Amino acid sequence: MALKDSLRILIVDDMSVSRGLVTQALDQIGLKQYDWCKDGQSALTSVVNRPVHLVISDYEMPKMNGLDLLESLRQHKTTARIGFILLTGSADPAVISRGSKLGMNNYLKKPFSVPQLQKCIEAVVGRL
């Protein structure tokens, strides 16, 4: 089975338009096993109950932002090794630095193209 067919992804973004752009890009890349959550807190619950290989999370969200989600994932044995990509509208060096310290695997600035997202994902999980 090819990686494209088995890779499970969780998209975390409070904006439906942003979620839609990510899911459309994943469809174009050929990735079909994905789900989404509207905020970091529900994403954390989801990942604990239904493990994934990769989380693609927005930074700015209510309740729990993307880096707070990352920090929570890294603190639990069952979720500590999940790949994590941060999507951000502004690649603020302080945000990227904190993400790196927390174990962020990659980040991508919005807006992004399908090839940029694919390259970002492949840097984390390998060639699709």
Tens digit of pLDDT at every position of the chain (128 positions): 788 999 999 999 999 999 999 999 999 999 999 999 999 999 999 999 999 999 999 999 988 999 999 999 999 999 999 999 999 988 799 999 999 999 999 999 999 999 999 999 999 999 99
Strands 83-88 and 106-109, by their bridges, are parallel
Predicted local confidence at residue 79, as pLDDT: 95
Q: What is the pLDDT of residue 98?
A: 96
| pTM above threshold 0.85 | yes
Q: Residue 19 has which token pair? A: 């979620």
pLDDT value, residue 50: 93
Task: Kindly report the number of other CB atoms within 10 A of residue 59's CB atom.
Answer: 23
- Domains located in the chain, CATH noted: 3-125 (3.40.50.2300)
Phi and psi dihedrals of 22, rounded to 5? -70, -45
What local confidence, expressed as pLDDT, does residue 108 receive? 97
Amino acid at 57: S
